[in-house]
Amino acid sequence: MNSTPITVESDLQIAGDILAVQHLLQPAREHPATVAEFVGLARSIAEDRASWEHLVRYDATTRWYHRLRIGPGYEVWLLSWVPGQGSGPHDHGPSSGVLTVLEGELTERGPRGRLTLGAGAQRVFASGYAHEVVNDTLDGAVSLHVYFPGLTEMPMHSCSPATPESVPA
């Protein structure tokens, strides 16, 4: 028998089937509670096109939005963006969130400049984070927004978050 040395990257080693150690396993949660779980929720909804694709509408006069889901302490919103449409500079009050681009491309303008977000891109933001989201392309876009706690306010700002005078000191 030929034995090859095993390189160990950690002091922790698991021998046997970890799933057999029942007291170490956490029961699956019905609703997300951590940032990682909210990101996972957004990703799973994004992958399930049949759950949202038929709901999407485009409106040239105003941004279209639809509340897709509500849970204890969170909301999930579906938004569409025609070319040139934007949110205006704003924050989300006490809500944190996950923005996921489902189709097309959106530009986020924030304190650190512009960020282009293509289909599949996700952006996590903390409460009070000021930004502006715009569809700068010639095609429509669709995005998914998870807010925790649920969105209760969206204060608008008078200037773009990318300008120095709008960044809190």
DSSP state of 78: E
The token duo for 30 is: 């019905």
Contacts of 31 (CB under 8 A, 6+ apart): 71, 72, 73, 74
131 annotated as a binding-site residue: yes
Which residue type is seen at 4?
T
Torsion of CA 154, 108, 37, 64, to 10 degrees: 60
Is 145 one of the annotated binding-site residues? no
157 is in an annotated binding site: no
> What are phi and psi for residue 67, nearest 5 degrees?
-75, 115
Rg, the chain, Cα only: 20
Amino acid letter, residue 168: P
* Cis-peptide, bond into residue 168, ω within 30° of zero: no
Which residues is 163 bridged to in the sheet? none
Query: What single letter denotes the amino acid at residue 148?
Result: F
Can you say which residues are annotated as belonging to the binding site for Fe cation? 90, 92, 131
Binding-site residue ranges: 90, 92, 131
